[in-house]
Amino acid sequence: MNENIFTEKAPAPVGPYSQAVLSGGTLYCSGQIAIGFLDASVTKQTEKICESIAKILEAANMKISDVVKTTCFLADMKDFAEFNKCYEKHFAHRPARSCVAVRELPKGALVEVEVIAAR
């Protein structure tokens, strides 16, 4: 059975989807953007996104070290090094990852990150 996960400690979804869905022992977290910090630097947005992901994981009784896969979206690949510097602090356990540049992200965000975590 699937369970929708929601916490008020992270931004509410900006569309018709859940913050995350827990299915068995696997958590699928929707892409997170830095709501409230969209005019900030890539580093600040990434920091806020990682904080939100940690809170969503916490709501599912999980932690960052349970993340096995991330998918990262950048509005501009010139921000890759700056993004990696911040990302690395939060995902020191080095989960599998994809990182791509996209033409545009919701709300004008510079970064979006989604994760899959497993117990």
Residues marked active site are found at 99
CB-based contacts of 12: which residues, under 8 Å, 6+ apart? 6, 19
Tokens of 67: 């993340």
CB-based contacts of 77: which residues, under 8 Å, 6+ apart? 101
